[in-house]
Amino acid sequence: MKIVFATGAAPAKDAAVIRFVTRDQRAKLVPPVSEEEFSGKANTLLYLRCDSTVCVGLGERAKINAHTLRSAAGVAAMFLKKIGRTSAVVRLEDWPKFAGAVVEGLILADYRFERFKTKQTAELDNVRVHVLGEDLATAKKAGERGQTLGEAANLARDVANQPGNLLYPESLADRAEKLGRDFKLKVTIFDEKKLRAGKFGGLIAVGQGSERGPRMIVIEHRGGSKNQVPIALVGKAITFDTGGISIKPAANMEDMIFDKCGGMAVLGAMAAIAELKVKCNVVGIIASAENMPSGGAYRPGDIITTYDGKHVEIINTDAEGRVVLADAIAYARIDQKAAAIIDLATLTGACGVALGDNAAGFWNNDEAFGKRVLAAAERAGERLWPMPLFTEFEEQIRSDVALIKNSGGRLGGACTGAAFLKTFAEDTPWAHLDIAYMSHREKDRADLARGATGFGVRTLVELVENW
Ligand code: BES
Ligand code: MN
Ligand code: ZN
């Protein structure tokens, strides 16, 4: 998408116009429109065909923030694409301080996963954003950052949307190496041989049931001083989760292509972090495996040893995310000497039961770090909801035969998953986002197409930018 910021000069003839309208502005529209036709509430839409203008409601003026405008811009873009318009002028004179959010919204709404469709939706390829002269420079700067963030989220979505037959740990590693070349990031791949030699027992166990072996992908951004310890962004990337020997029921199993979305959030965030030349050291660690049942698969009852030498009793092979993350978190702590670790994972269905699909579960072992993550998510417009880490959850996953077991049963399922991961962070400040039902959508939303959402990319970038 080509985006230019301007102060109003004549737009291209074929461009549609996007206007944002508050509740109070709606009452003064000429010609007048009824409340029924267009209320001006957030994300309501009115199309004035005669002058190719799409008005999107912002709701009450006092409640308007960046998220209101990101979403409203998305609603407008989704509509224009639907009617086949590919160029637009955005009248943003009233809201220049939300230029970044508007650009994000447009870019996020423009993305479709249509690689395998016969007909592709035309892209919204030409956008002019109008602001007043005095706001031009700052709005343009914010817009450029918004473009980087939007494109990074779309990159994450596009890899996440690839099916399991085409995207598997090895091909994901290839994709990460390409990202390294494109964005000048150092990428190191731990293939099966290296994982085995390095005693990454969690990744090896989960990956051993698949014909396609596991990988750990390490992506480094060095924007800080040489001896500054990095912040670690860790992501679960199960390229397909059948459940393994503890196999899942058939219904909706196809959605388990999205079990790599935590890792994809890390991938997208690293791209944006490099492009924005963030001035600190960041390491992205993606733990990737395919969870399959086979003669070689790991089994319930197995006792495995993670990278940091902890013994884990496997109760349920479908609780595989925590097993691969155990290795990745331990590696961040021991080898990378991370100052703090944040992990993102489609970890538990239980998290969706608890919170629905409008918030990710949030756990942390360090108050100060937790606050920074929550503040970053708030600025990014990604909703997190704090969840508990009672000591009882740790007792629930105590094993009779090893240090810990990988499932504590149904009760508090999202919390016992978090308690399991906490064990591997030890004393390093750590935060965990369970994005199981935030990572993908079954149907189009008013401002975002179906499939992977890119959730987490913006929070990670916000966190690292303010590190
Ligand atoms: N990838 C799933 C979690 C999931 C389920 C994400 C539905 C999105 C939608 C994860 O690996 C899993 O299977 N978790 C189990 C854990 C249980 C066995 C302790 C679950 O949620 O049932
Ligand atoms: Mn699973
Ligand atoms: Zn999984």
Domains of the chain as residue ranges with CATH: 2-132 (3.40.220.10), 155-465 (3.40.630.10)
How many whole angstroms separate alpha carbon 47 and alpha carbon 79? Answer: 9
Both tokens of residue 85?
Answer: 């318009």
User: What Å distances lie between residue 460 and 82, 326, 426, CA to CA?
Assistant: 31, 20, 22
Cα distance between residue 336 and residue 285, in whole Å: 10
* Closest CA to ligand 1's atom 13: 318
61 CA to middle of ligand 1, Å?
41
Name the one residue in this structure whose structure tokens are 């002058």.
51
Looking at all shown ligands, the one closest to residue 253's CA atom is 1
Three-state secondary structure call for residue 146: helix
Cα separation of 44 and 37, whole Å? 10
- If you measure from the C-alpha of residue 119 to the centroid of ligand 3, how many angstroms do you get, rounded to a whole number? 32
Q: Using N-to-C axis directions, what is the helix angle for 413-425 and 321-334, rounded to 10°?
A: 30
Closest listed ligand to the CA of 258:
1
349 CA → ligand 1 middle, Å:
5
Q: Could you identify the atom of ligand 1 that is nearest to the CA of residue 437?
A: 8
- If you search the block for the tokens 């935030």, which residue do you land on? 438
- What is the model's pLDDT at position 41? 98
248 classed as catalytic: yes
310 is catalytic: no
Dist. CA 363–CA 329, nearest whole Å: 15
Q: What is the pLDDT of residue 8?
A: 81
Residues framing ligand 1 (Cβ under 6 A):
241, 259, 316, 318-321, 346, 348-350, 407, 413, 436
Nearest ligand 1 atom to alpha carbon 316: 18
pLDDT 10s per residue in the chain (467 long)? 999 999 987 767 789 999 999 999 999 998 899 999 999 999 999 999 999 999 999 999 999 999 999 999 999 999 999 999 999 999 999 999 999 999 999 999 999 999 999 999 999 999 999 999 999 999 999 999 999 999 999 999 999 999 999 999 999 999 999 999 999 999 999 999 999 999 999 999 999 999 999 999 999 999 999 999 999 999 999 999 999 999 999 999 999 999 999 999 999 999 999 999 999 999 999 999 999 999 999 999 999 999 999 999 999 999 999 999 999 999 999 999 999 999 999 999 999 999 999 999 999 999 999 999 999 999 999 999 999 999 999 999 999 999 999 999 999 999 999 999 999 999 999 999 999 999 999 999 999 999 999 999 999 999 999 99
Query: Contact at 8 Å (CB) between 39 and 60?
Result: no
Residue 13: the pLDDT is 77
Separation of CA 207 and ligand 3 centre (Å)? 12
Q: Which of 157, 322, 372, 458 is catalytic?
A: 322
41 phi and psi angles, rounded to 5 deg: -65, 160
Amino acid at 387: M
Alpha-carbon distance of 344 to 432, in angstroms, equals 6
Name the residues around ion ligand 3, CB cutoff 5 A: 238, 241, 259, 321
